[in-house]
Structure 1
Amino acid sequence: MTTVLPLADDATAPLTAAALSAEEAERLAVLLKAVAEPTRLRLISLVAAHEGQEACVCDLTEPVGLSQPTVSHHLKVLVDAGLLEREKRGVWAYYRLVPGRLEDVARALLLG
């Protein structure tokens, strides 16, 4: 499982509350790069909307119209960014949102 680092020392502070350190800017940039791609945004939405807010990669290929390896690549980017968690069950991988992570990103972008 990926270790999710906080966005900043105070994860509830908006981006405009104080200047970001280089490390904080790097963490936020990784997250924003991960979601700044239409397929990845759709995958986050599909996982969140799926029963139990968890989906198998096999459930995600058809809705996005991409091959399983391509979908798995996009999901890996989201896992590496700390937005999704991955659990292997048999031959399939299941994905779910990391609780509170999207809210952390939203709070960081608030113009406070």
Structure 2
Amino acid sequence: MELVRIYESLCDITRLRLIHLLAQGPLCVCHFQDVLGEPQVKISKHLAYLRARGLVEVEREGQWMVYHLPEKPSAELTANLRCLQDCARENPQFQKDLARLKRTDLSCGPVQHAPGKTSTKTRRCAC
């Protein structure tokens, strides 16, 4: 059943883009808005879908919701995330998303530490 839930969740391009961005580290909804150019309601709807199926987790920081991939993903999810990352390397849309993410002000999102390490502790902003 786990694998079916994962595949059902990954059959939408917006959800794939969200998960791909979360592979870079925790993000606030406002960051997804900036990167994807989509309205908050659409992003929140897809994040709620992914959360209900255990593909993303969320922590409240004041009025902000910071999303991240599961701390201990299942073997099935790990394998599918690896596959997504491989496919995303060659997809222009995913590459554009990463470029936009690099230009996005993440000041309300996770504090970046050493490369590849993130914390879900956030700084405050007006997003």
- Number of positions where the alignment pairs a residue of Structure 1 with one of Structure 2: 80
* Corresponding residue number in structure 2 for 1:79: 51
Structure 1: state its 5+ residue gaps.
Answer: 1-25
Compute the RMSD of aligned alpha carbons.
2.0
Displacement of 1:93 in angstroms is 0.5
Query: What is the distance in 1 between the residues matched to 2:66 and 2:79?
Result: 27
Aligned counterparts of 1:88 and 1:107: Cα–Cα separation in 2: 28
Deviations 1:24-60 (A, max 9, x none): xx332222111111111110111111xxx11111111
Q: Which has the higher contact order (CA 8 A, sep 6+)?
A: 1
Q: TM-score, normalised by structure 1?
A: 0.63
Which secondary structure does the structure 2 equivalent of 1:88 belong to? strand
**Counterpart position of 2:21:** 46
Q: Which runs of 4+ in 1 moved over 2 A?
A: 99-108
Task: Kindly state the Cα deviation for residue 99 of structure 1 after the two structures are TM-superposed.
Answer: 3.0
* Secondary structure of the corresponding residue to residue 93 of structure 1: strand
Larger radius of gyration: 1
Q: CA deviation at 1:104?
A: 2.2
Aligned to 1:63: 35
Cα displacement (A) at 1:85: 0.4
Partner-residue secondary structure (3-state), 2:71: coil
Q: State the partner residue of 2:102.
A: none
Normalising by structure 2, we get a TM-score of: 0.56
Give the letter for the 1:54 counterpart. Answer: P
For residues 58 and 38 of structure 1, the distance between their equivalents in structure 2, rounded to whole angstroms, comes to: 19
Q: 2:10 aligns with which of 35, 53, 58?
A: 35
- Aligned identity (percent) is 32
**Cα deviation, residue 107, structure 1:** 4.7
Q: Which residue does the alignment assign to 1:94?
A: 66
